[in-house]
Every structure is written in structure tokens, then in C-alpha cells.
Amino acid sequence: MRVAGNYRNINVMWLCVLTFLLFCSKPIQAQEPLPITGENGKYYYTVQKGDTLWDISQRFLDSPWRWPTLWERNQEDVSNPHLIYPGQRLRIYPKAGMEPAFSTAPPSGPQYIQPAREEIPLEIEPGGSEPFDGDLYRTRRDNEYNYPSINKVGFLGDDPITPHGEIFKVYGNHELISQGDMIYIKPQGLTDLVVGKHYNIYRLIGPVMDQPTGKKVGYQHYLTGVVEILQTEEKFSVGRVTRSFRSIRTGQKLMPYQERSPMIQWVKSLKNMEGRIIISEEGEEIMGEHSVVFIDKGKKDGIAKGQSYNIFSQEEAVIDEFTHEKVTLPPVIYGQLLVIHTEPNTATVLITQSKKAVRAGDYFRSP
């Protein structure tokens, strides 16, 4: 019996040794990179098995409670925020250190600013149309740009506008209000809401500060949808949401709705104009092609709808290591923007081309 016990002990010992060797011989797998891809200045995350908007929001927006923001930026592809599937691509805004290289091919060489408009051509030849990505089309005929999303573009004003009303309740008490919902509005200001008339729903953001200087530049009016007034009572009005651009909630306000033509006529740009990008409409840190942004020049500076300007960078370099003498290198163009709305001191613009990431504080200038 003692011999059999010894054999059992030996077998257990060898089993432990073999398990240890097998474990040590298995290669340690490197941590897989995040499934993020970059295309034309935009970033996309591919949904993995087990993902939820809650988890993805924690990863990229630093808080799970910001999942409605993630959803509203992807509502065209995600109709139900509680149902996402592996393989779906979500537009995201990665934190610093997560940015992948763009998948578009790099330019063959730097483009230097010249007096002529050769770097990113603005002249539009007659005939045909050139699609961008389903949201923006440059129509060569009649020198026009077709931007179908123009009616959901907001603006950055010096001061908050006077609202015509405020949403105080939604029928059914939903947290997020969507198209077709009935809402209840308390009037504000001196103008009554009119039955049958449409109003923009908007959220006021601000004051918006200029990052380099720390000065206040205005208040962002962020359009979230459109409502039609159905009836008015003594102390409130009833409306139905006819369009939903982004998440709509109680507390958001109303301003008159004005239909804007998606056809933007190209006009001659100003000479010797230079300014900076203040902020993205969506609050993105990393912007790219088709992003809507605000610039620090407006009507008072001569900026007009349809003008186009180049986004550029300009660096300094040490030319002499002993004297530490620096020289300013020629400006390099890496993008183009189109003015789509103007305010007295700011303008809303669309980035129509970008060869690398665009950030707040980047410069633009005349072609």
C-alpha cells in the first residue's frame, strides 16, 4: 500500500510539472489594438461582441453617462441605442494617443501656398457632378455646392438669441424625444407661437471660450430638431416633432425655422484674410473632411457665404545649431473650408477637404 501511495504521489508530481511546462511554453499574446480606423479625417470604431454604447462611451468619452452623445452622432446607423451588433461602425472621437493613421493615401509631397489657386483648386469646370460621401456634393454646373444637411447647421453668436419657447414636457415622459413625439412648450419672449408654423429646436452651449487666448467668443446655438405647433392654450402650446437631427430633451428652446437652400453659390474669397478655427460644432477634438466648425471671422470682416479658404500650418526650424538661429518655413496647405453661414463676428464653415487631422486653433487664410 505504501508503494502504491508513492506511485500516486509521483504521478501527481509529474502532472504538475507537465502543466507548468505547457503553461510556460504558450506564448504570451500581445494586447490587441483597438479596432479603430481613420478615413478622411474621421474615426470609426468597429463594434465587438459584448459591446454596449455604455462601454464604448466610457472608453472614448471618459464617461458611460455620455452614451446619448455617442448615439446622437450615429443615429443614422443606430436606430435603437440598446441594440448594436458586432461589425457595426460607429463614428467616435478618440482620446489623445488613440488616433490611428488615416487610411487615405498620403499626398505625394507638401503643397506650398502660392498667390495662384493651384494647391486645392477652387475653379469648377462645367458639366457633371462629383459626389463626396452622400452628405456633400460639389456640383460643377453653375459653380455651386450641394450640401443637403444645411438645415441642421447651427451658429456661434455673440450673445444668446431670445427664444420663442421652451420644451417642458413630452407626451409619455421619454428621456429622449424623437421624431413624431408630441411636446408641450411654454412661451418665452414677446412673440406668440403660431399654429401651423415650424420652429427650430436648439440647445444653448456656452459661453464658448477661445482656447489660445481664453477669451469668450460667444454662445453656440446647437440645432437638434424641428417642431410644428399644433395648438395653443393660455399658458402653453402643443407641438409635434417633425424632424430630429440630434437628441432632443426637455429644457431645450425654440427659434423660428427658416428653410435654407442646400445649393451654396461659390463666391470670390477675400484677399489677405487670415484667421483661426475656434471649435467644432460637435465638440470634436479631432476634425476632418465634412466636419462643421466655427471660425473667428464674420460679416464685419467681409466673410460671406460661399467663400472658400485654405487650412494651413507653418513651422519654425533651427537652421544653425551653434547660434540657434530659427527660420520660418513656407506655409503648407492641408485642407480647405467653405463658408456656409455668417454671424457678425464668426462664421460656420464646412471642411470640404483635409489631408490630416484638423484641430481647434488651426489657421486658415486666403487662397
User: Which sign, positive or negative, has the C-alpha torsion 173, 176, 180, 186?
Assistant: positive
CATH numbers and ranges of domains, the chain: 36-92 (3.10.350.10), 129-147+262-365 (no CATH), 155-256 (no CATH)
Name which of 70-79, 143-152, 301-310, 346-355 the model is least confident about: 70-79
**Bigger pLDDT: 57 or 136?**
57
Q: Please give the backbone phi and psi of residue 266, each rounded to the nearest 5 degrees, phi first.
A: -70, 130
**Bigger pLDDT: 29 or 285?**
285
Q: Is the pLDDT of residue 156 over 70?
A: yes
pLDDT of residue 67: 76
Is it true that the peptide bond before 207 is cis, omega within 30 degrees of 0? Answer: yes
Cα–Cα distance, 131 to 104 (Å, whole number): 17
Cα–Cα distance, 189 to 187 (Å, whole number): 7
Residue 39 has which C-alpha cell?
478615413
Contacts of 264 (CB under 8 A, 6+ apart): 144, 145, 146, 147, 150, 305, 306, 338, 340
Which one, of 154, 106, 180, 6, lies nearest residue 354 by Cα?
106
**Bigger pLDDT: 273 or 26?**
273
Q: Is the pLDDT of residue 19 over 80?
A: no
Average pLDDT, the chain: 79
pLDDT of residue 355: 87
Q: Is the pLDDT of residue 124 over 70?
A: no
Tens of pLDDT, residue by residue over 317-345, are 888 888 888 888 888 899 999 999 999 99
